[in-house]
Amino acid sequence: MPERRSVSIQGIVQGVGFRPFVYHLAGRLGLRGRVWNVRRGAMVEVEGTSENLNRFCRQLVEDAPAGAFIERVQADPMPVKGDDGFSIAPSDRLTSGRGLIPGDLATCSECLAELDAPSDRRYGYAFLNCTRCGPRFTIMLETPYDRVATTMAGFPMCPACRAEYVNPDDRRFHAQPIACPACGPRLSVLDGTAAPCASEDPLGAVVSALQAGRLVAVKSLGGYHLACDASNESAVEDLRRRKRRNGKGLALMVPDVDAAREYCHIDAREHEALVSAQRPVVLLTRRRADVPAGVAPGAPCLGVMLPYTPLHHLLLKRFGGPLVMTSGNRSRRPMAYRDEDVRGELAGIADLFLVHDRPIHRPCDDSVVRVMLGRPVPFRRARGYVPLPIKLKHRVACPVLACGGHLKNVFCLAEGDHAVLSGHNGDLESAEAVRAFETSIARFQELVGIRPAAVAHDLHPEYASTRYARSLSGLPRIAVQHHHAHIAACLAENGVGGPVIGVAFDGMGYGTDGTLWGGEFLIADYGTFTRAAHLGVFPLPGGERAVHEPWRIAAGLLEQIYGERMETLDVPFTRRLAWKQWEVLRRAVSARLNSPLTSSAGRLCDAVSALLGVCPTATYEAEAAIRLESLAGSDPAAAYPHHLEHSGAGRPLVVRVEDVIRGVIDDLRLGRGVQMIASRFHSTLADVIRSTCRRLRAEHGLSRIALSGGVFQNARLLAETVALLSTEGFRVYWHNQVPPNDGGIALGQAAVAGARIEGRQAEA
């Protein structure tokens, strides 16, 4: 007796070749019926013997295609209809609910083989793709994911592509961005004034320009890249100057893993990350010094990625060597991605433009990961990962929009057991960046179908993201302390409930007492936290400017510790100090003028970096700390003595940073090398964390620790801290899904808001 079942599949099943998979599975089991896409996944009606139907439902999950992410399968009996066979039916565009969309996927090996095969009709075609690879999120206008709902809608398929598209046995069956030279997007070249250049061979023209040391803007998957020859020192300098880029490392694109190996050490995990379908920029330890200094001055790592679109493959193959590929934008502005940006944002920067006529609908920056302790830790979670949801073990009570922080902004929409994070919106420091952030929220909400009933934001009253949250009238607002959000993000992605000891070593975030926190030990769960201990405070002479002039912080610390005697220390730092300028600043500090106090671990690293003469002035936030890590190497050294102090009953314990700085100064006076001192300082921070956590375990009975905050992007510190804590019997959690930096706090804000709303509902 045949039976019929209606099977609803929820999760990411669109744009990954799921329907053809279902079609073939049904065929193999001799089942009849149909499959179609709905907003939140796919629906199947299928009939056959009960035994085969059971097998079908099981294999649906077990054998699903690699890109699929199946959350829930529900099968219900229904009356038999007696179909002729199994078919793929048109999408149902009317059903409601949340759509889940895959991220953009790097060109697969089968497509690459075609790209290189002279006999193939897509030989050398810059826009080939299939159900397993190609653009997704960046070209999607709305869900469900069908060609008409993408920026490929304007390219009618030629008969040959159409035949592949409708053939269930073809690799391109229902590949929405399917294209070929006869019907798909085309490359063209524009000159520096954005006027079209007649060229038979756009790639050839671009390759010669690059070889001549010129700057080329390349329209990639999620926006424009600025490219130049990475081995040409003056081209690299030119690029930095024209885009007014600070000293931050520039990403390299190399033809293949072997080419990357020439410049960097690559272990098995790093190799895996490099070739993954997400194709992030992977931060790799340098091997050779002959990459032009301007690519990543003073940093321990080079950011390297492999080509991820057919266009990149063609370009790199013809060019032969590594290219700098950095996002195309001016300093402090969002990445350019619209066709009109060629005339606007990028005018005067690039000498030549390599463009095409497939519009980018949603900008998406390159992702950045660093493999630490054998697992990739995202520093920037964007292309390839967005908009894949983070699964929450602790559900949020109502739909929440979390607005994120100020630097490296990412926002988050969460509902139930799902948190969907936006891509990287950059620092919200310009009107353009804030506008892009607001547009992105509106568009993202529509795409993922979460309509927020509450909004979470940082405690800082002046953040643009906070102001945006305040502007949303009618929604309940939840303010979340910055470091509580960091720790909650770590708990949420690890599926851990509280309470834990949260160690937030960070740049700076607004504290509940109005000072700038950043070296915090919190006893935290999702709903609440207490500040159990923190690094001792020190001044930031001149406020914000101290972030870019770490020598000010160093001098402030010396003043705090040694007072007048600072002048007689006779170490290289005091010998080089601009005493006149310092005299003015020190008066400001003692009068408490524009010299806020901070407990930031990041700023403490900056100060030590300046004391050692490694980086007295910085061109971007945390540059001094990054250079210090580079200098320190990876071998643990003897920690400087340090102490925990009581600051009064019911008040947090304080780590005396003065002791640590004294240790550094004593070593300098003994003539110890700066490399050794940098190493001892790293070991000291790890040891401070160990001894403070030991104390807190004794007082609070907690033995689980969450590590978060931008300072844990430091591989040396993370490894040493985790090792020390583990030998003490702690269970330690850190980040692998969202960044430890402020790119991760939106997830934490959403988790905290969810818990607080639930608490209120329970009270009511």
Positions in the binding site for Zn ion (CB under 5 A): 108, 111, 130, 132-133, 158, 161, 180, 182-183
Closest CA to 349 of 215, 205, 191: 215
For Fe ion, which is the closer residue by CB, 345 or 506?
506
The angle formed by the CA atoms of residues 751, 104 and 381, to the nearest 5 degrees, is: 35
**Binding piece for Fe ion, criterion CB under 5 A, among 455-463, 498-506, 556-564, 748-756:** 498-506
DSSP state string for 24-55: HHHHHTT-EEEEEEETTEEEEEEEE-HHHHHH
Segments in 2-125 forming alpha helices (H): 18-28, 50-62, 109-115
For Zn ion, which is the closer residue by CB, 158 or 472?
158
Q: How far is the CB of 60 from Fe ion (least distance, A)?
A: 42
Binding flags for Fe ion, 685-724, as an x/- string (CB under 5 A): ----------------------------------------
549 in contact with Fe ion (CB under 5 A): no
742 binds, among Zn ion, Fe ion, none (CB under 5 to 8 A by kind): Fe ion
For Fe ion, which is the closer residue by CB, 130 or 504?
504
209 binds, among Zn ion, Fe ion, none (CB under 5 to 8 A by kind): none
Q: Are strands 281-285 and 368-372 parallel, antiparallel or unpaired?
A: parallel
Restricting to residues 466-495, which ones interact with Fe ion according to CB under 5 A?
A: none
Q: Are strands 477-480 and 454-458 parallel, antiparallel or unpaired?
A: parallel
Restricting to residues 627-646, which ones interact with Fe ion according to CB under 5 A?
A: none
Q: How far is the CB of 164 from Zn ion (least distance, A)?
A: 8
520 in contact with Fe ion (CB under 5 A): no
654 binds, among Fe ion, Zn ion, none (CB under 5 to 8 A by kind): none
Q: How far is the CB of 182 from Zn ion (least distance, A)?
A: 5
Residue at token pair 């190493």: 679
For Fe ion, which is the closer residue by CB, 106 or 459?
459
621 in contact with Fe ion (CB under 5 A): no
For Zn ion, which is the closer residue by CB, 107 or 737?
107
**Binding piece for Fe ion, criterion CB under 5 A, among 131-139, 169-177, 377-385, 500-508:** 500-508
Q: Rounded to an integer, what distance in angstroms lies between the CA atom of residue 44 and that of residue 47? A: 10
Q: How far is the CB of 487 from Zn ion (least distance, A)?
A: 40
List residues bridging with 421 in a β-sheet.
Answer: 412
Residue at token pair 């059903």: 95
Q: How far is the CB of 181 from Zn ion (least distance, A)?
A: 7
238 in contact with Fe ion (CB under 5 A): no
Residues with Cβ within 8 Å of residue 406, at least 6 apart in sequence: 427, 428, 429, 458, 460, 463, 464, 465, 742
Q: How far is the CB of 180 from Fe ion (least distance, A)?
A: 47
Instruction: Note whether 635 and 723 are within 8 A (CB).
Output: no
**Binding piece for Fe ion, criterion CB under 5 A, among 80-88, 164-172, 393-401, 503-511:** 503-511
For Fe ion, which is the closer residue by CB, 506 or 606?
506
Q: Is the peptide bond before 387 cis (omega within 30 degrees of 0)?
A: yes
For Fe ion, which is the closer residue by CB, 45 or 742?
742
Q: How far is the CB of 486 from Fe ion (least distance, A)?
A: 6
Q: How far is the CB of 100 from Zn ion (least distance, A)?
A: 21
For Zn ion, which is the closer residue by CB, 108 or 660?
108
Task: Output the CA–CA distances (angstroms, integers) from residue 347 to 225, 262, 359, in the order listed.
Answer: 13, 35, 19
Residue 655: both structure tokens together: 């780590």
For Zn ion, which is the closer residue by CB, 161 or 492?
161
Q: For 335, which DSSP code?
A: P
Q: Rounded to an integer, what distance in angstroms lies between the CA atom of residue 474 and that of residue 472? A: 7
For Fe ion, which is the closer residue by CB, 315 or 407?
407
Q: How far is residue 119 CA from its own chain's centroid? A: 40
Q: For helices 674-700 and 623-632, give the axis angle rounded to 10 degrees.
A: 100
Residues in the chain, overall count: 764
For Fe ion, which is the closer residue by CB, 236 or 707?
707
Q: What is the 3-state secondary structure (H, E, C) of 608-669?
A: HHHHCCCCCCCCCCCHHHHHHHHHHCCCCCCCCCCCEECCCCCCCEEECHHHHHHHHHHHHH
Q: How far is the CB of 710 from Fe ion (least distance, A)?
A: 6
493 binds, among Zn ion, Fe ion, none (CB under 5 to 8 A by kind): none
Residue count, binding to Fe ion (CB under 5 A): 3
Q: For helices 623-632 and 601-611, give the axis angle rounded to 10 degrees.
A: 70
Q: Rounded to an integer, what distance in angstroms lies between the CA atom of residue 381 and that of residue 424? A: 7
506 in contact with Fe ion (CB under 5 A): yes
Q: How far is the CB of 335 from Zn ion (least distance, A)?
A: 25
Q: How far is the CB of 108 from Zn ion (least distance, A)?
A: 3
225 binds, among Fe ion, Zn ion, none (CB under 5 to 8 A by kind): none
Instruction: Note whether 266 and 260 are within 8 A (CB).
Output: yes
DSSP state string for 281-314: EEEEEB--S-S-GGGSTT-SEEEEE---SHHHHH
Q: For 140, which DSSP code?
A: B
Segments in 117-247 forming alpha helices (H): 159-166, 202-211, 233-242
For Fe ion, which is the closer residue by CB, 399 or 550?
550
Q: Rounded to an integer, what distance in angstroms lies between the CA atom of residue 303 and that of residue 288? A: 14
153 binds, among Fe ion, Zn ion, none (CB under 5 to 8 A by kind): none
108 binds, among Zn ion, Fe ion, none (CB under 5 to 8 A by kind): Zn ion
For Fe ion, which is the closer residue by CB, 412 or 448?
412
DSSP state string for 251-269: PEE-SSHHHHHHHB---HH
Residue number with the shortest CB distance to Fe ion? 506
Taking the C-alpha atoms of 690, 694, 696 and 701 in order, what is their torsion angle to the nearest 10 degrees?
A: 130
For Zn ion, which is the closer residue by CB, 135 or 255?
135
130 binds, among Zn ion, Fe ion, none (CB under 5 to 8 A by kind): Zn ion
453 binds, among Fe ion, Zn ion, none (CB under 5 to 8 A by kind): none
Q: Which of 742, 753, 754, 756 binds Fe ion (CB under 5 A)?
A: 742
506 binds, among Zn ion, Fe ion, none (CB under 5 to 8 A by kind): Fe ion
- Please report, as a single letter, which amino acid is at residue 584: V
Q: How far is the CB of 708 from Fe ion (least distance, A)?
A: 8
Q: How far is residue 558 CA from its own chain's centroid? A: 36
Residue 75: both structure tokens together: 């099968």
Q: How far is the CB of 456 from Fe ion (least distance, A)?
A: 15
For Zn ion, which is the closer residue by CB, 158 or 644?
158
415 binds, among Fe ion, Zn ion, none (CB under 5 to 8 A by kind): none
Instruction: Note whether 502 and 666 are within 8 A (CB).
Output: no
561 binds, among Fe ion, Zn ion, none (CB under 5 to 8 A by kind): none
Residue at token pair 């050294």: 637
Q: How far is the CB of 603 from Fe ion (least distance, A)?
A: 12
Q: How far is the CB of 69 from Fe ion (least distance, A)?
A: 29
**Binding piece for Fe ion, criterion CB under 5 A, among 291-299, 365-373, 561-569, 736-744:** 736-744
Q: For 131, which DSSP code?
A: T
* Binding stretches for Fe ion (CB under 5 A): 506, 509, 742
